[in-house]
Structure 1
Amino acid sequence: MLEITSLKDGIVIDHIKSGLGIKIFNLLSLDELSEEVALILNAKSSSQGRKDIVKIAGNLDINLDAVAIIDPNATINFIKNEEVVEKKTLDLPKETRGILKCQNPTCITTSERNIESKFILIDRKEKMYKCAYCDHIYDVEE
């Protein structure tokens, strides 16, 4: 059995749907951090069967909206001296900036470098966003 040690100080993104941990890891660019990062895939879970977990050492400011877009059911635990000092549940953000990229090749955000992408939530249940510039529909599940 794989032993996962506790975290002294940092952030634990828990209850990630199995298979989505790597997407969160990549979207947050955790490979670029100098702090220790643990990506645990397919961990046993009594409530989910299997889940992914991301542990990040240190007190970082992570983009919770980015995590919520990938898995709004994930939970965020802030750890201090090996104790959970705060626990956050997530919800899909009503608006995102700079997280999603418009897939419409004629959108201004794909042709102009200095324009940050902006998406507006149009269907919470289906996790669908609309580009604020060209109205292209973005399905997070795809």
Structure 2
Amino acid sequence: MKIDDVKNGIVLDHITAGKVMEVYEALELDKLNCSIAILKNVRSTKMGRKDILKIDNDFDVDLDVLGYLDPNITVCIIKDGKIVEKKQMQLPETIVNVEKCKNPRCITSVEKNLDQIFYLANRSKRIYRCKYCDSKIERSK
């Protein structure tokens, strides 16, 4: 299989196997007008299996969304066919408008223009809580 190299863009590497479409949808990559390669279940010595996204376009990727979805992701910024920067994701301290509060009594259920803000309550268990009502959301590993 031949996948072209990215000349100027981003490679999202070390995505947990099976999560590439979740990342694709969360970043709204379908709205980009460029080549995007989705590689699923690629062999990896480090992870066993992994997914990879290659985006042949410069765009502002939301690192908080990536860190929330999968803190194992490595973001490689490519310029002129060379990696110029590598970023290792981690769980963000807060996420804004990534999840919606499930509590029907939360102010965000009534006030439609209010940002959905969650803070990291427990890093090891990947638990976030709503800033307004303290409802819990848990991210599976």
Please classify the TM superposition score into its range, dividing by the shorter chain length. over 0.9
Q: How does 1:18-37 map to 2 (within 5 A)?
A: 18-37=17-36
Partner of 1:65: 64
Q: How does 1:5-20 map to 2 (within 5 A)?
A: 5-20=4-19
Percent identity of equivalent pairs? 39
Partner of 2:78: 79
Partner of 1:130: 129
2:81 is equivalent to residue 54 of structure 1: no
1:47 shift after superposition: 1.1
TM, length-normalised to structure 2: 0.94
- Cα distance in 2 for residues equivalent to 1:105 and 1:4: 46
Partner of 2:116: 117
The runs of 5 or more residues in structure 2 that have no matched partner are none
Aligned-residue RMSD, C-alpha: 1.3
1:105 shift after superposition: 2.2
- Cα distance in 2 for residues equivalent to 1:58 and 1:83: 14
Q: How does 1:103-114 map to 2 (within 5 A)?
A: 103-114=102-113
- Cα distance in 1 for residues equivalent to 2:52 and 2:110: 36
Q: Deviations over 1:25-70 (max 9, x none)?
A: 1111111111222221111111111101111111100101101101
1:3 shift after superposition: 2.3
Partner of 1:94: 93
Q: Deviations over 1:90-131 (max 9, x none)?
A: 111111111121122222223322011000001111111000
Partner of 1:40: 39
Figure out how many residues of one structure are paired with residues of the other and give that number.
141
Segments of 4+ in structure 1 off by > 3 A? none
- Cα distance in 1 for residues equivalent to 2:132 and 2:98: 15
- Cα distance in 1 for residues equivalent to 2:105 and 2:39: 38
Amino acid at match of 2:127: M
TM, length-normalised to structure 1: 0.94
1:104 match: secondary structure:
coil
